[in-house]
Amino acid sequence: MDKEYKFHREIKNSYWKIKCYRNRVFFSSTLYQRSYYENLIIHEVDKIIALLEKIEEQSALNLLKRNPEDENQREFTLEELSEYDGSRGKPGYIAVDGVVYDVSTSPSWGGGTHFGLYGGKDLTEQFQGCHPGAEGILESLLKVGVIKK
């Protein structure tokens, strides 16, 4: 908010200056005078362009920072989940601790398989057996829903 106010104030400053220089251009008697004020106007216009670009950048960043809505509460039955096993170009989903993850482009899940395990299944046991206490691995996976209770 602070930044926005600062931008607003600076643009307003440039606006008044341009207005003032424009008048001086109108009333200038020599070519030299005219081009002098025109240059000052161009300078202010450049300033405004830079400020507007900064504002654009800020708003783009703000969009990214906003947390994605929790629309990933899609519910899966185990049968539905088995469809998504990564074969024939289908996405690969796995379930661990009731949460369904999309592992289609996860580097260790080439061809929808992972060290002998196939996608489309509940792999809670295998996960606990092979990665005990490593919940950080799950954090980096894309959540797509939950297992229907």
Partner 1 sequence: MKDGRIYCPLLNSKNTTSQALINSTNRLLRQSEQEKIDLIWLEATGCSGNIISLLNALNPDIIYLLTEMVNLKYNNSLMAAEGEKAFEIFLDTINREFILVVEGAVSTKANGLYTIIAKYKGKHITAMEAIKMAGEKAKHVLAVGSCASYGGPSAARPNPSGSISVNEFLEREVINIPGCPGHPDWIIGTIAHLISHGRPPLDDNNRPIMFYGITIHDNCPRRSYFDKGIFATKLGEKECMFKLGCRGPVTKTDCPIRQWNGYVNWPIGDNTPCIGCAQEKFPDGMEPFIRY
Closer by beta carbon to partner 1, 1 or else 89: 89
Q: Helices (DSSP H) in the chain: which residue ranges?
A: 2-26, 31-65, 78-83, 124-130, 135-139
Determine contact, residues 61/53, Cβ cutoff 8 Å: no
Minimum CB separation from partner 1 for residue 112, in Å? 6
Query: Is 5 exposed, middle or buried (CB count within 10 Å of its CB: 0-12, 13-18, 19+)?
Result: exposed
Closer by beta carbon to partner 1, 28 or else 87: 87
- φ and ψ at 121, to 5 degrees? -135, 170
Minimum CB separation from partner 1 for residue 101, in Å? 17
Minimum CB separation from partner 1 for residue 85, in Å? 9
Q: Which residues bind partner 1 (CB under 8 A)?
A: 86-89, 104-105, 107-108, 110-113, 115-116
Closer by beta carbon to partner 1, 29 or else 108: 108
Closer by beta carbon to partner 1, 24 or else 90: 90
In b/e form, how buried is each residue of 64-91, taking b as 16+ CB within 10 angstroms? Answer: eeeeeeeeeeeebeeebbeebbbeeeeb
Minimum CB separation from partner 1 for residue 29, in Å? 56
